[in-house]
Chain A
Amino acid sequence: MAGWLRTSAAALVCFVALVLLGRVLPNWFVLVATLAFAKGIVALGLVVLMRCGLVSFGQGIFFCTGAYAAGLTIRLLGLDDGVLLTALGGLLALILGLIIAPLLAGYRGIFFATLTLALSMIAYGILDKVSWLGGSDGFNLHAPSFVGYHPATPQDVSYAIFVLTSLATVVAAALCRIHFDSLRGLLSLAARDNEIRVEYLGASVRWVSGMNFAVAALLAGIGGALSALSLGHIDPDFAFWTTSGEFVFLAILSGYASVTAVFVASIIVELVRSYSSQYFPNTWQGALGLFLLLVILFLPQGLGSLLLVRRGKPKSQEVRAESGK
């Protein structure tokens, strides 16, 4: 139980710290951080999935589900409460996840990755084609309100979205931490290591995978809704394979040693991307690719390992879990 409390306390402190930071930070960085956290939440979902040995290359399908759910609710129903929209995005993504899970829970490794990618491509095809979904150009969202509060200036809007995103972030982070430290979290690692034994111990690997998949979908949906709100624009690229690839990159970059690492990683990537496209407008993609390669090569266990080392903590279970395979 103490673990619960400590984690929740830490989460609360982080939240307060972020809310305060958001006030002193330059607005552009608040925006970067908002997007980074939103994408980080999606990557966190992938980390959950990776802990049971599965990597989805199609998180875009849930990311766009969340985004379009939020966007269409504003557009068609006129509901614009940020909190509600975020929850809705997550919920719909979760439902979709629960529908798909049985189809994919039987697959593993590269096959799983490829099938998820295929599904997200289908989603992309639909969004691109269906005109009442905005078609290839997508559509814009006006600024949301927040449980009755209607921010006046764009700075207030972006700050409010930042606060909402930070809240979602710390909650997701704390819950995942608790999950990782729980029996269930341990079981995921077990399923990753040795499926036969898990079955022989009386648990179902399919069930474990399915659950983690659903959680990942939920988080992707929330991240999608938040991204849509902070960008004020939605288009089929939300489901494109490069988007999904970016999430996988975030997850691999952060590793699953530490939940914090996911969000630090996504802030770094966000900055690298935007600075590289500013300083090498002609070769920013190559620069990004190179960065990607180097990270994968020299940080095989992700940023998380660094964090843990810095903490002077002995090699933790998760880190070994990664090198295990």
Chain B
Amino acid sequence: MVGGRFAGRLLLTAAVLGACTAGAAAQDDKAFKLGVVAFLSGPAAESFGKPAWDGAKTVIDALNAGTVIKPYDKVGFGGLKIEVDLIDENGGATKQVEELRNAFERDRVDAVLGYISSGDCLAVAPAAEELKKMLVLMDCGTPRVFEENKFKYVFRSAAHGGMDNVAMARYLVKEGIKVTDVGAIDQDYAWGQDSWRDFKGSLAQLQPDAKTKVELWPKFGAGQYGTEISTLLQEKPSLIYSSLWGGDLEAFVLQAAPRGLFKDRTVLFSASDHVLQPLGNRMPDGVIIGARGANGQFAEHSPINDWFVETITKARPGVYPVQPQYRGAQGVLAVKTAVERAMAANGGKKPTSEEMAAAMVGQEWDAPSGHIRMALGDGHQAIQPNAAGRTKWDAEAKMIKLIDIVRFPAECVNPPAGTKVVDWISEGFPGAKCN
């Protein structure tokens, strides 16, 4: 009977094996297999996942059709058609590690572009490095990825969260807003904690006598902020800072506006342009908005930006592209640039991970949001221009227009190479190049 059990084990293992080794895809050098990871379900799907995928897909389709303007007019990636393996980011960091390994080792993708959650980025980066495979992080904010590790095969095609809050603090100065005291409300997980830390630090540098009245830490996905709003109303800070995003931010605005929280005080949402369209005129006027880069309405006119806006609004009528779409597109163009640089170097063959990685180090490219440079983390971490502005409901256009826009060059809001954001802020932004 034990023998039988053993036979059973072998038999089944064998069967299972046959079943799945069959699934392992073979490499094909006429096409470039790109794994794209974004939230397709769960709390971040609406605000970031789907739109980011829309942005990336729009560009990928155009690239495969060869309809993108110069310098991106080559079909696909350097002539290689782009095949996408779409993966849902929902389900926890450990699942992402598994899926990333499967994508590389079973489904043989040539590179992976994606990840929105900082937790996922931190988790998957070492896995990709271990496998010596090309991983381009697309959206996640935490600076820890490249400040605490050295990677060869991992890149981030967008600026990290540090600049968001430096820019916000700088904007207050530029607009001559005197902050006497601050009330903060941020989700109690890494994103909220880091954002508030950076903003608090930056403000301490730029407006030293601004005090912190209260720090509120609702749970991620709480959705109910009655008590927090009461507390803020009681403390009456002159500035309210929040890094809330997506559904939580929308709920907060819906609940806070009727209670007069926005009256006679400045409210600042550090990463919030993605809620403007859903909220419409429920978002009060005069709120200071950040977009994690010169994305959406903050983006300056440029051939590639005009092309992008036109294409995506045609592809998805009624949707005006904002941060996630921009970052999705930015990531695809980053990979395209690297692949084509690598092919220029290796004589037009489909590049290996090594070649792609080598090509992407320190690369520069033009994205809808402006000129991007892999400046930090030994050329693995991008920096990009940033901007901030205020909300203003436009009754004719039936949408919120951003006014009083101030743009900051990348070097003004990002630390110089080799400096950690936290230190850079606490030392008073040494080497910042603002004009």
Residues of chain A having any CB pair with chain B under 8 Å: 6-7, 9-10, 13-14, 17, 21, 25-29, 31-32, 35, 128-129, 135-140, 142-143, 154, 157, 177, 227, 231-233, 235, 237-238, 240, 242, 258-260, 263-264, 267-268, 271, 273-275, 277-278, 281-282, 284-285, 307, 310-311, 313
Contact = CB atoms under 8 A, between A and B. Distances in A.
Given A263-B9, A285-B41, 19 more contacts: A7-B2, A25-B17, A28-B106, A29-B17, A29-B20, A35-B98, A129-B188, A137-B119, A142-B126, A231-B94, A231-B97, A232-B126, A237-B92, A240-B92, A264-B9, A264-B13, A268-B16, A273-B95, A307-B5
A260 B1 CA distance: 12
A25 B127 CA distance: 19
A137 B142 contact: yes
Contacts of A274: 98-99, 102
Contacts of B337: none
A260 B5 contact: yes
A173 to B, nearest CB: 9
Range class of the B interface residue count: 35 or more
A278 B85 contact: yes
A231 B193 CA distance: 26
A28 B93 contact: no
B8 A138 contact: no
A21 B13 contact: yes
Report, nearest first, the 5 A-B pairs whose CB atoms are least far apart: A28-B105, A136-B189, A154-B130, A237-B92, A233-B123
Interface string B14-30: 00110111011000000
Nearest to A286: B41
Contacts of A242: 92
B107 interface: yes
Contacts of A273: 95
Contacts of B101: 28, 31
Contacts of A138: 93, 119, 122-123
Contacts of B193: 135
Nearest to B217: A129
B92 A235 contact: yes
Nearest to B126: A140
Interface majority SS on B: helix, strand, loop or mixed?
Answer: helix
A231 B130 CA distance: 11
Contacts of A264: 9, 12-13, 16
Contact of A157 (B10, B24, B123, B130): B130
Interface in B92-132: 92-95, 97-99, 101-102, 104-107, 118-119, 122-123, 126-127, 130-132
A31 B93 CA distance: 16
Contacts of A282: 40-41, 88
18 contacts: A28-B102, A128-B189, A137-B119, A138-B122, A139-B122, A140-B126, A154-B130, A231-B97, A232-B127, A233-B122, A235-B93, A260-B5, A260-B8, A263-B9, A274-B99, A278-B85, A307-B8, A313-B1
A282 B40 CA distance: 6
A46 B20 CA distance: 27
B91 interface: yes
Interface string B403-425: 00000000000000000000000
A227 B94 CA distance: 9
B20 A136 contact: no
Contacts of A277: 87-88, 91, 95, 99
Nearest to A136: B189
A21 to B, nearest CB: 7
Interface string B56-88: 000000000000000000000000000001111
B190 interface: yes
A310 B107 CA distance: 33
Contact of B1 (A128, A275, A310, A311): A311
B9 A281 contact: no
A38 B205 CA distance: 50
A211 B17 CA distance: 36
Interface string B320-346: 000000000000000000000000000
A232 B130 contact: yes
Contacts of A232: 97, 126-127, 130
A201 to B, nearest CB: 28
Nearest to A143: B130
B41 A233 contact: no
Contacts of A263: 9
Contact of B21 (A7, A29, A284, A311): A29
Contacts of A14: 6, 9
A56 to B, nearest CB: 20
B176 interface: no
Contacts of B90: 285
A154 B6 contact: no
Nearest to A267: B16
A142 to B, nearest CB: 8
Nearest to B130: A154
Contacts of A31: 98, 101, 105
Contacts of B347: none
B91 A278 contact: no
Contacts of B104: 28
B318 interface: no
Given A232-B126, A233-B93, A278 B6 contact: no
B45 to A, nearest CB: 9
Contact of A13 (B6, B8, B40, B126): B6
A271 B106 CA distance: 12
Nearest to A280: B88
Contact of A235 (B86, B123, B188): B123
A10 B118 contact: no
